[in-house]
Structure 1
Amino acid sequence: MNILQALFFPPEQPGGVSSMVPYIQERFNKLGWPMELFSLPRRVRGKGQEPVAFETFDITNYEGNPIVDKYLQTYRDYVWWTKLRIKKSYDIIHAHHPISALVMKQLYPDTPLVMTIHSSFERELILNGKIIEGGMEHRFLTAIYGELEAKADRILTPSESFRSYLKPYVKDADRIQIIPNGFDEKRFKPISHENAVVQLITVCRLVPAKGLDVLLHACAELKARGHNFVLHIIGDGPSRQELEQLAIELNLYDDIIFYGYMLHPEEFMPFFDVFVLPSRAEAFGSVFAEAALCWLALIGTNVGGIAEQIDDGVNGLLVEPENPTALCNALEKVVSDQDYRYNMARAAWNKAKKVYSLQRVIAQLKQVYTEIQPEPEAAE
């Protein structure tokens, strides 16, 4: 069975799709199921010219809006690039972005399409202050879910919370199958160590949706309570300058290291003690599972897929979003008690190995693929 994994941009960024799909490809190829990756290079801009039309809603009602027009032009570019580069057929196409899914179904209507919806672009835009809830851009982007439901042979998503999020935008959310993300354990090498000062780490794109402003305020309160720590921030994004300025204003700059973008942060994480990320929304939050596999104590917000990964007080701590004091209290628990921190990290590692193994994902995907495209021997 020849399978194409259709991504959006190349898998360069840490987290999410990039932390999983290339390793899925490697495993399937070893099993004798040929699998290839396809994506749109970032340099391709403004090439596509074909008109775009959807089955379930009229896109002309949204044209003229800058965000919608940019989305549609990216769709055209994906069509142009796909026609230019793909010269063979596949038994199954598994897409990981709405644009790649809809383009593939447009160009290869007879090929079964699996679509994994990993996250909510519109929610991220709202939290980052780019669009307003209920506005034209929000209505357009949520209408895409209904188009995906009409076109895809199978829709997958990584968490129960995100399937619930999709319910208002599709006809039958119960048909959406949950396959939590999985990770290749060989990438993660926990290291036994003792740091004289507790080392906190967060890994994310530096945007408002990740709540790092809340983290900095919590750290300022933690410092005021007399606790020593170092906060390591791995990632880059439009909020970096604002966050660095906030660190200065909160008298935290000497306690924080901004690293910028890093390709393989999992190689770095095992040397630290606590992973913390107070996201305002998260469909799954792959980086929590990655941090758990690095044997770190986890602190996250009670939102989305984070709350499905962390059993509060057992393998991590959950706090409500937008609450620096609650986050500070959680940090204080793990910073001040080494045994508590160690036991929680061990529990996080145990759960991640059991629940978020890549082998489990491979088995579930094999079942999905064979259900929608049985191999000849199985059909007979």
Structure 2
Amino acid sequence: MKKLRVMHVIIGNGFGGLENVMLDLVRQGDRERFEYFILCLSTPDVIRDKLEASGATVLDLGYGEGFHPGLALAIRKVINEHGIDVVHSHDYKPFFYTTLGCLGKRGLAKVYTEHSSILSMSRKHQHIGRLFARFTDAMVMVSRHLQQYWADPVGLPAERSLVIHNGIDVRLFDHPEDGETLKREFGLEGKLVIGTALRLNEQKGLQYLVAAAPAVKERFPDARFLVIGEGPLRDDLATRTRTLGVDDVFLFPGYRSDVSRILPAFDIYVLPSLWEGLPLGMIEAMLAKLPIVATTVGGVPEVLVDRDTALLVPPADSEALGEALCHLADSADLRRIMGERGRGHALAEYSLQKMVTTYETLYHDILAAK
């Protein structure tokens, strides 16, 4: 039987939850039925090695920021040259150009997954997104919050989209390394580690974590903040920590490809985001039995139960964030109980195989209907 050719379209100039989900779809997909391609609109940077190790055919178009009229035709050319059966775009920019490039291609299954980009789009771009949904076979949302946002204010009726939650390979968390040994890698032996792993950009609200740090430092002098990741705000965040006198309790070790391995070094996981879809790092933290402090944005309250598996606070509220962190820092028993509850919930609801099977069934159903 001829394998179906599935091509994922991403921007490709960074690594975060979106890229992780896409790679899991490729790595865990049924190679007996599918052949995978990954098309990057830009030139891959830190993600190139991961893309190539996935076993997919990796292609890149080398386009940078800004509007590129020729990009849609370049995508169409790739689809034609490689005989693609399913084109699956991730987030707004790939969706925009892929939709234009696929206009008039009747035998092609067109799938879009919204991870969170629509939340930061202008009204003009939202209007374009609603229009382009007409030319897409499946509009997939990673959370019910995103589905509702596309319905109002964007204007796409909820029945024209479906929700597929992100999943995690739980095997990565079955045999954790010793937390104190991992802390030693960062020079944090014996410290209370408040950690996070994310892109250092505006969306993640890290400036509010920095602003919350003085209150935490005053009450818990042995607390340390370990911020894993890279992004455009790294220098700004470092400056903020110096200004507030907390640069001695913050570590910015940069990008790590082994986040699942080093999560046991954390005592508390913090997610201070200003907007989200369904953050993958949050589910990984749950599987690692970490108590979580997170903001009530996007799909976060769909996953975390306040005062059961996490402490939830309003976004952009440094005082509330600091209070929640101190509350967990003050009780090892509470941290343990919340962590165990969180892992149980994540195991039941967010398995990787469930996500992969749902997408593969969707691909087949669309092509069968055509």
Counterpart residue identity of residue 195, structure 2? I
Residue 86 of structure 2: aligned partner: 92
Q: Which range moves more in the overlay, 313-322 or 17-26? A: 17-26
Deviation at 1:9, TM superposition (A): 2.5
Q: Does 1:162 align with 2:163?
A: no
Q: Does 1:7 align with 2:4?
A: no
Give, in whole Å, the separation in 2 of the partners of 1:36 and 1:366.
Answer: 15
Deviation at 1:36, TM superposition (A): 2.8
User: What TM-score results when the alignment is normalised by the length of structure 1?
Assistant: 0.81
* Structure 2: runs of 5+ lacking an equivalent: 44-59, 181-188
Residue 191 of structure 1: aligned partner: 177
Residue 166 of structure 2: aligned partner: 181
Query: Is 1:277–1:300's contact at 8 Å kept on the other side of the alignment?
Result: yes
Residue 352 of structure 2: aligned partner: 358
* Structure 1: runs of 5+ lacking an equivalent: 48-66, 126-137
Residue 130 of structure 1: aligned partner: none
Poorly superposed stretches of 4+, deviation over 6 Å: none
Give, in whole Å, the separation in 2 of the partners of 1:120 and 1:84.
Answer: 24
The count of residues paired between Structure 1 and Structure 2 equals 339
1:91-111: CA deviations, max 9, x gaps?
Answer: 322222313531452373431
Give, in whole Å, the separation in 2 of the partners of 1:171 and 1:91.
Answer: 26
Q: Which range moves more in the overlay, 243-252 or 185-194? A: 185-194
Give, in whole Å, the separation in 1 of the partners of 2:272 and 2:33.
Answer: 41
Give, in whole Å, the separation in 1 of the partners of 2:166 and 2:216.
Answer: 33
Residue 185 of structure 2: aligned partner: none
Residue 299 of structure 1: aligned partner: 293
Give, in whole Å, the separation in 1 of the partners of 2:10 and 2:208.
Answer: 30
Q: Where does 1:88-127 land on structure 2 (aligned, <5 Å)?
A: 88-97=82-91, 98-106=95-103, 108-121=105-118, 123-124=119-120
1:111-161: CA deviations, max 9, x gaps?
Answer: 12111111125x447xxxxxxxxxxxx133212321331110111110011
Give, in whole Å, the separation in 2 of the partners of 1:111 and 1:187.
Answer: 35
Q: Which range moves more in the overlay, 141-150 or 301-310? A: 141-150
Counterpart residue identity of residue 337, structure 1? S
SS of match in other structure, 1:155: strand
When residues 90 and 209 of structure 1 are mapped into structure 2, their CA distance, relative to the original with a 3 A threshold, is: closer
Counterpart residue identity of residue 116, structure 2? S
Residue 235 of structure 1: aligned partner: 229
Deviation at 1:281, TM superposition (A): 0.7
Q: CA RMSD in A?
A: 2.5
1:30-73: CA deviations, max 9, x gaps?
Answer: 453333322224284569xxxxxxxxxxxxxxxxxxx8xx23x1
Residue 54 of structure 2: aligned partner: none
Residue 270 of structure 2: aligned partner: 276
When residues 84 and 153 of structure 1 are mapped into structure 2, their CA distance, relative to the original with a 3 A threshold, is: closer
1:291-345: CA deviations, max 9, x gaps?
Answer: 2222221110011111112111111111011211211121112111111101111
- Work out which of the residue numbers 338, 341, 356 in structure 2 matches 1:344: 338
When residues 13 and 290 of structure 1 are mapped into structure 2, their CA distance, relative to the original with a 3 A threshold, is: farther
User: What TM-score results when the alignment is normalised by the length of structure 2?
Assistant: 0.83
Q: Where does 1:9-158 land on structure 2 (aligned, <5 Å)?
A: 9-10=11-12, 13-42=14-43, 44=61, 70-71=66-67, 73=68, 76-80=70-74, 82-83=76-77, 87-97=81-91, 98-106=95-103, 108-121=105-118, 123-124=119-120, 138-158=122-142
- Work out which of the residue numbers 281, 289, 312 in structure 2 matches 1:318: 312
Residue 51 of structure 1: aligned partner: none
SS of match in other structure, 1:253: coil
